[in-house]
Every structure is written in structure tokens, then in C-alpha cells.
């Protein structure tokens, strides 16, 4: 089966998922992102003309503030023209199909789409549909993938830990419904992390998750033992309705990241979260705002990583 | 009209025939096999040299989309497709709009089908009014109108007391009940098998226990009521095993499988191929192997097309939103032959799964070429390759997981009632 993300030269044509993304491309993106960050002087990321004259359409069929904003900032720093469309869920009720919407935007001469949609596979569908000179970036599709989030997480891990090959990483929370978790798992295994763990109750883990290359834990004390990186996931409030969990309090008691539980990890372990956080549900404020938290760095790095992705795509041959 | 089908290889599973024998048809009946009856003069001679002559195929599940879903397909288009696929009899499930729950609808459908002079149509009526799972339909009236069995199609019947009563009532009169086992709570919102692919793709899943729990209820109630139960579209290894055990214990339950499930698994979903959005969901490779084993040992009696044409637009959507279903009438024969070749099943053994066996499930004197039988015949070229693509299909539904595949086996002639209704 043809890799839908690569063009015939093996270059990145679309960024749809971290699954099957070649390690050389992944490393290139991280290196390129580092180049955009002027870390030594702590200054803002400089504006560069790499996407000058290009139109980037942020098409969000599902609400998002943070992701859409960081994509917008990233595109502007690359000197692109940015159009934001918050289509929400109302577009389908107006009768227009997803591909009709995309066709209309193509007619407005879009060069690149950044798409978020509530259905798994939506970005693949759009990528199959658009003309070959148009690039698609998946900004989150259903439970499937959120590759830029995973890449910025990898960037953050590399920034603090330097290497991947000697790490133990734990992903904690609602893996079943999480596109972030799936993309993180593929990215971590691709980059050579030898031990990736998931920690959650059975109701929040998908069937055969171990086939993705992870070790399954149901207990925080055991799962967090000696890990270098803790990746927290957001718990959607509606999970209580589906009988997946009894209550937020009980979840916090067992799986909420507190200082006590974090003490099982290595003393220099870092704590990450893709946001937005539910304080007191999946993470305690003392941890979220604590010394081991690198959550705000993730947001800053997110801009550089998204610039790297966009400029990589724009630089590929047709 | 007198027709002489000469020089063909005649395969008639029910009569244990596989030999080069001519077929002689007078009016709508098979008049003789082998030697011409005295004074026979053929008005038409079909030269079947190098071709296989077999009973017309019988498909246990073909959605024709009428009434109510004419934008997906029409009786005309799908009956054309049926005979192009060598199918001379087909059973259609009741999930139309309105559902087939009253005699008038059934009579109209049968009447319209009859006027097309193509395949014979055997409607399966709704078991409950509106398929709502609450009240029983007028079963005797529906049988008088021409229904052959009662079913919920893919609609849930959660109230087990209603199911119990429906089976008791059907058993009173010897009617067959056809059910597809799927627990409606466990399958809620699910679009793919609960396994590796759904996990990787982040698709809402349907666990195997959704099938086995419903199946367990159905088998228990069938045992209790003595109803003639037919299980539609078994999809899992565990499901096949339960049916095998029930039969060993003496329960008279029959069972079919969709041809898609004989050939495909969850792996074929690949990067969200909406053509693989099917009901029941494509399951694991292990399940596929168990379905094939079930066919080999006779636990599964018949293979059906599970023909469900959908309009193109309904497939141009993200996987979970795409309409479930695939066209199948014209693929039943080639996919049957492919299975026979792969699993080293004799042609007669394979053809029985789409002729004699489904006829028995339907309770029809059909699916064989005995002298005196109605002349429903399929003549096909077993060697002919063709490519599955929109232009090669007569069905209004063009979506199938096999798009782009080269398949082997093409129908040359289809006869219904001794008349050539399709020639290629």
C-alpha cells in the first residue's frame, strides 16, 4: 500500500500521522524547528519568508483555540497569508459535505490546508481528494492522529533529555479516545525510545494496544517507576456518561498526577500535557505548575515545530 | 421456446453431476440432460464449449433499495445486475423505507419484479412492525403475499420477550426467522471490528461479544421455541464455533456468510477505505480463517453477496460517516470461484453454496437442474478475467472493496424460466 504522506520522491507531501513517517523526515523536522528557535537569546522566533505568497487555510471543523492559534502564528512567521475558518459542526447541518467545503477553498487558491475534524480519517480523505500541489496538515482527526502535537512533544523531550534511545516514557490517561496518544506512541517508537508505557484503567485503553509497541499498566506506582518522561492526557468530561469511569474524583485518586505519584518517576523526570488541562482531574496544580512541568515550553516549541512542518511541506517537489 | 445448451461442462451439485452433458429445455422446464428428447428441435442453440453450465445462482441477501432508497438503486438496475451475475433467485431483506411489514408492499414489489422478467424475487418480511422490535407483523398475511421468511435485517430487537414471542408465533406456522446477531448496546456507534486496526485508526469499535451475546440469545430461544432459525452474516470465529456446537447438539439452525467476509479482513481498511465500511464489520484474519473453516466443515451453509448498493456521495465521507455497504451481485460468482481455488474446494462443492444450499434455506424447489425442474440456468466462462470497475458493473452501486481487482469468471448466459434473460 502506498504511503499516503509521501510523494514519489519520498518527500513529505502531507502530514497526516506519525505512523509510517520515516525517521529521517521526523528528525529533519525536529532539526529544522531547532533552527527556528533562537533559544540562546530567548528572543522571539524570527520572521522568515519561506512561505511568502502562499495561502494557508486553517480549516477547523472542531473547535480549538490553542492549536489553531499556534498554526496561525507559525504560518505568519513564515510570511504566509493565513485564512482561518471555524466551520464547527454547523457546516454539515447546512448540507455541505466536507469535500464540497474543501473544493470551495481550493477554488480560492489554497496552497496548504491545516485541518481539524471530529472524525478519524478526515485528513486522509481530504489528502486523497485535493490536487497534487496542495498540502494537507492534520491538526487532529477524531481519535486517530494529531501528528504536530506529537512532534512538538518529541521536540520537547529531545530539548530536555537530548536523546531518545535511553528513555522510559509513560503515557497516562484516556488512550482509547486520544489522537494525541496514538501519535505519540508512533513517534516515540519511530525515534527509538526503548520503553513506552501506557497507564490507564481498562475502560480507557483500546483493544490490543500492546500491538502498538507499548507496555500496559493499570497502576500509577508501577507504571511511573523510574520513568524519564510523563505524558499526561486530557480526560474528556463526557467519559463519565459512557460508564467508562465512576467519577472525576475517583479518577484523580487513582490516576491523577500528584507530587506523591510523580515521586515514583526519576527525580529528573519531566511532565508534559497537550492541554487544555483539567486541574484536579488528571493533574494536580502543584505538579502542573511545579519544577518538573514543561507544559508551557511545549506551547512555545509548538510554534517552531509547526513552522518546520509547513516549510518542509512547501519545500517538497511536486 | 426450445433451447439446446451443448458441449458445456454441466455442474449440478444437488444431483452430484459434473460432466460434459447437454441440456435441453422445452418451454420453461428442463426437458432432458445428456440426450435430446425424442423429436426435440432447438429454436436456439447455446454453444457452451469451454463453459460451465450450472443452476442459476440463489442469493440470500440482496438489497434492491426499493421502496424508499431509489437514489441508491432501483429494482430495474439491480435486477439487471443480478442476471448479469448469473443470479436467478434472490431474497431481499425488509429494511426498505417503509420496511416490508405489510402485504401490500410485498405484493407490489413482487409484481414489479415479475414484470421485469428477470430474476425471481423472494422478499423477506419484517419480523416486527416497522422493524421497531415491538409488535409482530401479520405473518400469515405476509406469507400469502409471497414472503419466504421473517427478519429484522440490521435493525435491533432488544426486547427479548418480543423476540421470544416472535419465534413462538413463527414456529406455530413453520415460518423461518432470519436474524443477524448483533447486540445493539455493545455495537452502539461502532464502525469497525474491535481489534488492531480500529485501535490504530482510532475508529469506534464493535467487539466480537456483540455478535456472540446476541447469537447466544437467539440460539437459546430457538431451542426453546423450536423455530426454524437462520443466522445471517456470521462474522467471527467465536460465532462460527457457537453455531457448530449448537448443530452438534441437534439444533436445526442454518447460517450464511457474506462473500466480503470470506475474502477480506479489518486489514483491508488500510488508510480508512470507505469501501470497507461494511455491516457486519470486517473482522480479524483469525476470524476470516474461521469463517472459511466453517464453510469447509459445513457449519456455514451458504455464501451470499450481501449486496447493498449505496450512492457515490455517501462513500465520500470520513470512514465512520460513510454509508455502510457494497455492491455485490456481479461479484458473487467470481469471488466464489476465487474462494474455491484458494481453499481447494471442488467447483460442485463451491457452487452448492450459492445454489442447492440457499434453495434449501429458502425452502424452494430450485437450485438444481433435474429433469422437470424450472429452467433457471447460469452459463459462465470460468477462465475469463475481468477488472472490477464502475463501467463493468450494471448495478447502480459502484462501490466495492474489490474495485480495481482482476477477478476470474464471467457469466455468458443467464436463463430464467427457460428464457435467456442475459447474454454476453
Cβ-Cβ contacts under 8 Å, A179 against chain B? 202
CB contact under 8 A, A120 and B270: no
Residue holding cell 457474506?
Answer: B258
Give the chain B residue whose CA is nearest to the CA of A1. B270
CATH superfamily of the domain spanning B56-362: Metal-dependent hydrolases (3.20.20.140)
Let me know: does B145 contact B103? Beta carbons within 8 Å. Answer: yes
Cβ-Cβ contacts under 8 Å, A124 against chain B? 271-272
How many C-alpha atoms does A228 have within 13 Å on its Cβ side? 18
CA distances from B98 to B94, B128, B135, B150, B326 (A): 9, 13, 16, 16, 21
Give the chain A residue whose CA is nearest to the CA of B193. A207
SS3 content of chain A, % helix, strand, coil (to 5): 40, 15, 45
Q: Is B271 helix (H, G, I), strand (E, B) or coil?
A: coil
Let me know: does B372 contact B30? Beta carbons within 8 Å. Answer: yes
CB contact under 8 A, A121 and B194: no
Cβ-Cβ contacts under 8 Å, B203 against chain A? 120-121, 142-144
- Smallest Cβ–Cβ distance between B194 and the set A125, A142, A207 belongs to A207
Give the chain B residue whose CA is nearest to the CA of A16. B271
d(CA B214, CA B299): 18
Q: Is B116 helix (H, G, I), strand (E, B) or coil?
A: coil
Picking from A207, A213, A236 by the largest number of B CB atoms within 10 A of its own CB, the best residue to mutate is: A207
- Dump pLDDT digits (tens) for A29-72: 999 999 998 654 555 667 889 999 999 999 999 888 889 999 99
Let me know: does B406 contact B387? Beta carbons within 8 Å. Answer: yes
Backbone angles phi, psi at A202, to 5 degrees: -60, -25
d(CA A230, CA A271): 5
Cβ-Cβ contacts under 8 Å, B320 against chain A? 119-121, 142
Residue holding cell 497526516?
Answer: A16
- Dump pLDDT digits (tens) for B384-418: 999 999 999 999 999 999 999 999 999 999 999 99
- Dump pLDDT digits (tens) for B114-167: 999 899 999 999 999 999 999 999 999 999 999 999 999 999 999 999 999 999
Let me know: does B387 contact B404? Beta carbons within 8 Å. Answer: yes
- Dump pLDDT digits (tens) for B280-325: 999 999 999 999 999 999 999 999 999 999 999 999 999 999 999 9
Give the chain B residue whose CA is nearest to the CA of A183. B200
Virtual torsion, Cα A88, A89, A90, A91, nearest 10 deg:
80
Q: Is A156 helix (H, G, I), strand (E, B) or coil?
A: helix
d(CA A181, CA A193): 15
Backbone angles phi, psi at B257, to 5 degrees: -135, 150
pLDDT confidence bin for A94, thresholds 50/70/90? low
d(CA A105, CA A136): 13
CB contact under 8 A, B318 and A98: yes
Residue holding cell 510570511?
Answer: A79
CB contact under 8 A, B198 and A207: yes
Query: B396: exposed, middle or buried (C-beta count within 10 Å: 0-12, 13-18, 19+)?
Result: buried
Q: What mean pLDDT value characterizes chain A?
A: 92
pLDDT confidence bin for A115, thresholds 50/70/90? very high
- Dump pLDDT digits (tens) for A122-140: 999 999 999 999 999 999 9
- Dump pLDDT digits (tens) for A185-238: 999 999 999 999 999 999 999 999 999 999 999 999 999 999 999 999 999 877
Contacts of A202 (CB under 8 A, 6+ apart): A218
Q: What is the CA radius of gyration of chain A?
A: 19
Give the chain B residue whose CA is nearest to the CA of A5. B271
Instruction: Give the predicted TM-score (pTM) of the model.
Output: 0.95
Give the chain A residue whose CA is nearest to the CA of B320. A119
Q: Is A317 helix (H, G, I), strand (E, B) or coil?
A: coil
d(CA B20, CA A132): 55
Q: Is A172 helix (H, G, I), strand (E, B) or coil?
A: strand
Angle at A80 between CA A77 and CA A83, to 5 degrees: 110
Residue holding cell 516549510?
Answer: A311
CB contact under 8 A, A120 and B202: yes
Contacts of A95 (CB under 8 A, 6+ apart): none
Closest CA to B378 of B91, B85, B77: B85
- Antiparallel, parallel or unpaired: β B377-387 and B52-55: antiparallel
Give the chain A residue whose CA is nearest to the CA of B270. A1
- Smallest Cβ–Cβ distance between A99 and the set B200, B316, B320 belongs to B316
CA distances from B87 to B22, B40, B276, B405, B415 (A): 21, 28, 24, 21, 9
Contacts of B338 (CB under 8 A, 6+ apart): B263, B407, B408
CB-CB neighbours of B321 under 10 Å? 21
Distance from CA of B319 to the nearest CA of A (A): 6
Confidence check: pLDDT of A318 > 50: no
Let me know: does B83 contact B118? Beta carbons within 8 Å. Answer: yes
Picking from A91, A125, A177 by the largest number of B CB atoms within 10 A of its own CB, the best residue to mutate is: A125
CB pairs under 8 A between A and B: 72
CB contact under 8 A, A207 and B320: no
- Dump pLDDT digits (tens) for A267-281: 999 999 999 999 999
Give the mean model confidence (pLDDT) for residues A178-182. Answer: 97
User: Tell me, what's the pLDDT at A317?
Assistant: 53
d(CA B391, CA B411): 16
Q: What's the distance, CA A37 to chain centroid?
A: 19
Chain A residues with CB within 8 Å of chain B CB: 1, 4, 19, 97-99, 117, 119-122, 124-125, 129, 141-145, 179, 182, 206-209, 211-212
Percent of chain A with pLDDT over 90: 81
Cβ-Cβ contacts under 8 Å, B319 against chain A? 119-121
Distance from CA of B243 to the nearest CA of A (A): 25
The CATH number corresponding to B3-52+374-386+407-423 among 2.30.40.10, 3.20.20.70, 1.20.200.10, 3.40.50.720 equals: 2.30.40.10
> What is the ipTM for the molecules in this complex?
0.93
- Smallest Cβ–Cβ distance between B318 and the set A1, A120, A145 belongs to A120
Q: What is the CA radius of gyration of chain B?
A: 21
**CA dihedral over B164, B167, B173, B174, signed as positive or negative:** negative
Amino acid at each position: 500500500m502506498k504511503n499516503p504522506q509521501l510523494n514519489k520522491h519520498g518527500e513529505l507531501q502531507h502530514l497526516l500521522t506519525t505512523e509510517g513517517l520515516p525517521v529521517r523526515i521526523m528528525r529533519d523536522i525536529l532539526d529544522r524547528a531547532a533552527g527556528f528557535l533562537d533559544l540562546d537569546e530567548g528572543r522571539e522566533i524570527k520572521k522568515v519568508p519561506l512561505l511568502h505568497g502562499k495561502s494557508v487555510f486553517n480549516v477547523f471543523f472542531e473547535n480549538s483555540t490553542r492549536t489553531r492559534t499556534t498554526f496561525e502564528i507559525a504560518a505568519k512567521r513564515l510570511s504566509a497569508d493565513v485564512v482561518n475558518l471555524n466551520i464547527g459542526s454547523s457546516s454539515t447541518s447546512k448540507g455541505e459535505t466536507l469535500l464540497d467545503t474543501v473544493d470551495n477553498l481550493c477554488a480560492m487558491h489554497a496552497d496548504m490546508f491545516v485541518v481539524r475534524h471530529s472524525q478519524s480519517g478526515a485528513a486522509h480523505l481530504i489528502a486523497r481528494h485535493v490536487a497534487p500541489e496542495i498540502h494537507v496538515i492534520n491538526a487532529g482527526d477524531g481519535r486517530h492522529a494529531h501528528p504536530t502535537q506529537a512532534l512538538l512533544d518529541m521536540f520537547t523531550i529531545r530539548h530536555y533529555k537530548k536523546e531518545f534511545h535511553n528513555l522510559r516514557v509513560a503515557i497516562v490517561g484516556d488512550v482509547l479516545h486520544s489522537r494525541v496518544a496514538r501519535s505519540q506512541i508512533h513517534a516515540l517508537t519511530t525515534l527509538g525510545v526503548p520503553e513506552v508505557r501506557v497507564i490507564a484503567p481498562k475502560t480507557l485503553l483500546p483493544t490490543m494496544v500492546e500491538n502498538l509497541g507499548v507496555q500496559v499498566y493499570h497502576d500509577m506506582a508501577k507504571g511511573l517507576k523510574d520513568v524519564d518522561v510523563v505524558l499526561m492526557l486530557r480526560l474528556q468530561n463526557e467519559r463519565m456518561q459512557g460508564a467508562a469511569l465512576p467519577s472525576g474524583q475517583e479518577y484523580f485518586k487513582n490516576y491523577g498526577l500528584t507530587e506523591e505519584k510523580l515521586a515514583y518517576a526519576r527525580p529528573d523526570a519531566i511532565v508534559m500535557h497537550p492541554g487544555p488541562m483539567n486541574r484536579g482531574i488528571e493533574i494536580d496544580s502543584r505538579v502542573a505548575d511545579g519544577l518538573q512541568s514543561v507544559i508551557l515550553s511545549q506551547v512555545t516549541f509548538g510554534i517552531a515545530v509547526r513552522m518546520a512542518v509547513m516549510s518542509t511541506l512547501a519545500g517538497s517537489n511536486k | 421456446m426450445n433451447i439446446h445448451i451443448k458441449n458445456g461442462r454441466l455442474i449440478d451439485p444437488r444431483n452430484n453431476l459434473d460432466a460434459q452433458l447437454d441440456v435441453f429445455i422445452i418451454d420453461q422446464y428442463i426437458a432432458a440432460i445428456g440426450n435430446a428428447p425424442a423429436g426435440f428441435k432447438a429454436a436456439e442453440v447455446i454453444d457452451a464449449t469451454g463453459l460451465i453450465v450450472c443452476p442459476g445462482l440463489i442469493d440470500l441477501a440482496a438489497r434492491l433499495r426499493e421502496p424508499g432508497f431509489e437514489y441508491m438503486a432501483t429494482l430495474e438496475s439491480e435486477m439487471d445486475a443480478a442476471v448479469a451475475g448469473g443470479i436467478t433467485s434472490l431474497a431481499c431483506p425488509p429494511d426498505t423505507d417503509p420496511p416490508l411489514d405489510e402485504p401490500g408492499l410485498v405484493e407490489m414489489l413482487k409484481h414489479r419484479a415479475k414484470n421485469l422478467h428477470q430474476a425471481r424475487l423472494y422478499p423477506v418480511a419484517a419480523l416486527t412492525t416497522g422493524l421497531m422490535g415491538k409488535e409482530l407483523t401479520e405473518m400469515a398475511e405476509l406469507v400469502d403475499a409471497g414472503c419466504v421468511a421473517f427478519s429484522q435485517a440490521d435493525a435491533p430487537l432488544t426486547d427479548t420477550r418480543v423476540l421470544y414471542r416472535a419465534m413462538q408465533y413463527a414456529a406455530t406456522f413453520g415460518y423461518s426467522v432470519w436474524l443477524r446477531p448483533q447486540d445493539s448496546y455493545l455495537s452502539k456507534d461502532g464502525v469497525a471490528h474491535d481489534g488492531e486496526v480500529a485501535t490504530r485508526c482510532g475508529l469506534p469499535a464493535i467487539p466480537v461479544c456483540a455478535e456472540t451475546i446476541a447469537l447466544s440469545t437467539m440460539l437459546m430461544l430457538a431451542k426453546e421455541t423450536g423455530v426454524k432459525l437462520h443466522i445471517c452474516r456470521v462474522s467471527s470465529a467465536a460465532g462460527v464455533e457457537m453455531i457448530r456446537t449448537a448443530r452438534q447438539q441437534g439444533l436445526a439452525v442454518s447460517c450464511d456468510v457474506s462473500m466480503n467476509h470470506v475474502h477480506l479482513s479489518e486489514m483491508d481498511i488500510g488508510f480508512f477505505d470507505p469501501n470497507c465500511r461494511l455491516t457486519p464489520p470486517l473482522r480479524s484474519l483469525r476470524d476470516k480463517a474461521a469463517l472459511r473453516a466453517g464453510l469447509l466443515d459445513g457449519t456455514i451453509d451458504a455464501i451470499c453477496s450481501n449486496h447493498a448498493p449505496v450512492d457515490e456521495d455517501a462513500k465520500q465521507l470520513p470512514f465512520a460517516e460513510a454509508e455502510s455497504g457494497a455492491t455485490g451481485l456481479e461479484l458473487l460468482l467470481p469471488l466464489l470461484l476465487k474462494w474455491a481455488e484458494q481453499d481447494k474446494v471442488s467447483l460442485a462443492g463451491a457452487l452448492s453454496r450459492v445454489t442447492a444450499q440457499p434453495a434449501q434455506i429458502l425452502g424452494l424447489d430450485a437450485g438444481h437442474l433435474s429433469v422437470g425442474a424450472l429452467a433457471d440456468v447460469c452459463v459462465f466462462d470460468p477462465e475469463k478475467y475481468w477488472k472490477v470497475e464502475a463501467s463493468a458493473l450494471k448495478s447502480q452501486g459502484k462501490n466495492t472493496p474489490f474495485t480495481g481487482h482482476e477477478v476470474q469468471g464471467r457469466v455468458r448466459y443467464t436463463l430464467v424460466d427457460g428464457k435467456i434473460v442475459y447474454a454476453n
